[in-house]
Structure formats: structure tokens, C-alpha cells
Chain A
């Protein structure tokens, strides 16, 4: 019943279930695709312009898509009230949280990898700065969205109109992370500024909020 062991089995179970149903990844992909297409109509940018706005577009698209996935995570545990089976077991609550957060991280990273080529095609994107920095920003930024998102999704399953609740509480808290992701991405794409400060800030944000989540998850899981 170690945290790592239970985290691993829960994560594998979630990945297997997602592989069978593909609910989250399909709805997320389609949603992100819609956002990309609609933005493309709305702004119709030239290559030069798109470099400046792409940071914002990409992350807004991923943020909305991530919310779709985050709502799915706990919906699966509520069907047949399976969450109760976890809660009566002696398994550590934080293992469940970590498994869910890592699972969501995985789904959103897969989504980003699949959507990146589309952005290149639709917006004629070419990065001036080094691409590896983009990957670092994407990984740190995704964890920032997903760790709080997983926590707040668990929090909102205990409220009325839970699907609406998640973005209402997640977005305000995520503003600094979003700002960092957007501005760092734009800095790298245009090559005009260094993203170093933002990368450090995202790392701090990730560490701080992962700690807060792990500290508070048990209380929220057992709030009944």
C-alpha cells in the first residue's frame, strides 16, 4: 500500500480505461481542433502576426481542452460510485491524486503533441527561438494547469453544477501560470526576449501548488 505502488496501479488502470473508451482524449482533441479553426477564422493572421498571437491562441485552446479532460477524470470515479471503494480502502488518498494528475498530464501532453503540427499548418508558424525551450515551457505549463485542475475538479464534484464550477475556480488561480506560458511562448517564437524568468516562475508555481494540493487533498476527498 505504498503511495508509489498505488499511484502506479491507479494510473495504469486509468490509462487502460481511457484506451478502451477514449472518451477524454477524443472530446479533448475535437474541442481543441474546433478552437484552432475558429480562431483561425476570427484572426486570419499573416505569418508575422501569428508568431505574436500564437502563444495566446495555443494556450487558450489547450486550457479549454484540458478542462474537458479534467471533468472526465472524476466523472469516471463517480459512475457506480467507485470512489467509495477507494475511500473505504486503506490506500493513501494522495496516491489517488497523484495518479489522476499524472494521467491528466499525460493526456494533455499527448493532445499538445498532436495539435502542434496543426498550429504550424494553420498559422504558418516557425519559431525564431530554440524549439527545446518551447518543450520545457509546455511541460512545466501543462503540469501547472493539470495539478490545480485535478484538485479543483475533485473539489467541484462535491458541488452543484460541477461542470461549470471547475473553470470558475480554476481560471482565476491559474492566471499567473497562463501569463507565464503565453508570454514565454511568444518570447521564444519571436526570439525577441528571453523566457528564462518565466521558466523559473513556472517551476516555482509547479512546486508550490503541487505541495498545496498534496497537503489538502485528503480533506477534500473525505468532505462528506
Chain B
């Protein structure tokens, strides 16, 4: 089942003249755009183009200086916080805890006290739930995968990922991209900020190009007929 992006359904995000200043520097310079659900967007651009800032604002971590936006049909962003998943540039995990301990804690924050949810999330990114090692001793790639699991364990409708492939080997990155493709096929909306556009080719629905705090171009991507069903090697 290849999810056909339904352009007639209401958009997941509507940005209305969004502006963000850091002192005198305008990181986001008046973005108005709308994004349809069930699609995988890849946000591209140079350093300082405003990609991460835009993502942080949509995730509710930062207040816009001017303008506003509608998220999943509401302006009250706290109300839909449980339907959004966010993966930051940093891992957003506790080094002193094991993988499952980390996920269990964050699941508690979402009112999910079911161990099965965490196990499923670990397996989805190809990590062994029985792994008792602390995150501090994980390799970069494993940490990024767990980070992805943390952003998605609560089955969010909107997934925001900031540089998920940084410091990840090509093999793992392709596997992660495939996971994102499958999630999109289930009707979720995914935003991926990355430098490595090549990794997302064939999986992405749309490339969004940013420069100097604005969206400069949006181009429809060519999708592969089938997403490679990657074999995870649990480690």
C-alpha cells in the first residue's frame, strides 16, 4: 500500500507569515506555507537557512516573534502535543539510562505505561529491547536510532526530525529512511531536515528548499514504486 497523498484533506501545518528574530538577526523571514497530510517532506538548505529554527517553532519549543501557525487544525499547540513527535539535533536522551529505561520514562510523560509500546519502538528501529547498556556507551548510529524511536513511540500523526542521519553510517541511514517511508505509508506526515538529500530520494514526496530564512522552492519528488524492505540487524 503506497499512501497516496490526499491533497484535498485539511493541511497538517499552516504557517502564516512566520518570523523569528535572534536579537537583530532574522532567522525566519516571513514564511507562509501549508503542508498536506500523509506526505514525507524533506527540508533542504545551507547552514543558517532557518531549517532547525522552523522545526523548533513548529514543535512548540520556541515562540515565533511575529505571525502564527496552525498545527493539526488548532492554534492551541499544547492540545495536540501528544500527536507530534520531535527528534532534535542532539539525542534528547539520558546517557545514564539504558535504551528501554529512556523510552519508559518518556512513555510515562505521554501517559503510556505499557512496556509493549517501548519494545515495539525499539524493534522498529532495529534495536534489541533487552540491551542493558547505557546510552552513554552506544555508538552514534545506535543513539540516533534510539532517538528516532523516542520521537515515534507514541505513534504521532506529525513527525519532525532534525538531521536524523548526522554521524550515521550509510547503511543505517538507508534503513532509517525506509522506516520513515513506511510510517508515511500509514498516513503520517513526516518532516526531515537534512543535508543528505540523496538518502531520501525515492522515499520523499516533496523537497522543500530553504535559504536565508525563507522557503525558496518546493519540488515534487519522484517516488520509487516500492520501498526496500530493509532487514534490520539487531545489535
Does a CB–CB distance below 8 Å link A and B in the complex?
yes
The docked-state distance in angstroms from the alpha carbon of A89 to that of B95 is 19
A89 contact set on B, CB distance < 8 A = 81-82, 106, 109-110
A9 within 8 A of B: yes
B133 within 8 A of A: no
Contact A88–B94 (Cβ < 8 Å)? no
B142 within 8 A of A: no
B106 contact set on A, CB distance < 8 A = 85, 89
Q: A residues 44-86 with Cβ under 8 Å of B?
A: 76, 79-82, 84-86
The residue on A at minimum CB distance from B135 is A80
Contact A224–B63 (Cβ < 8 Å)? yes
Which of A12-20, A129-137, A205-213 faces chain B?
A: A12-20
The residue on B at minimum CB distance from A77 is B94
B97 contact set on A, CB distance < 8 A = 13, 16-17
A81 contact set on B, CB distance < 8 A = 88-90, 92
Contact A13–B84 (Cβ < 8 Å)? no
The docked-state distance in angstroms from the alpha carbon of A84 to that of B94 is 12
Interface size on B, residues (CB 8 A): 29
The residue on A at minimum CB distance from B108 is A9
Contact A1–B92 (Cβ < 8 Å)? no
Which residue of the partner chain, among A5, A17, A84, contacts B92 with CB atoms under 8 Å?
Answer: A84
B190 within 8 A of A: no
Contact A88–B60 (Cβ < 8 Å)? yes
A6 within 8 A of B: yes
Q: Is the interface of A mostly helix, strand, loop or mixed?
A: helix
**Are A80 and B90 CB-contacts (below 8 A) given A5-B108, A6-B109, A90-B81?**
yes
Contact A20–B96 (Cβ < 8 Å)? yes
Contact A90–B90 (Cβ < 8 Å)? no
18 contacts between A and B (CB under 8 A): A1-B109, A5-B108, A10-B105, A16-B96, A20-B96, A20-B134, A80-B94, A81-B88, A84-B59, A84-B88, A84-B90, A85-B92, A85-B93, A85-B109, A87-B60, A88-B84, A89-B81, A90-B109
* Interface of A toward B, CB cutoff 8 Å: 1, 5-6, 9-10, 13, 16-17, 20-21, 76, 79-82, 84-91, 222, 224
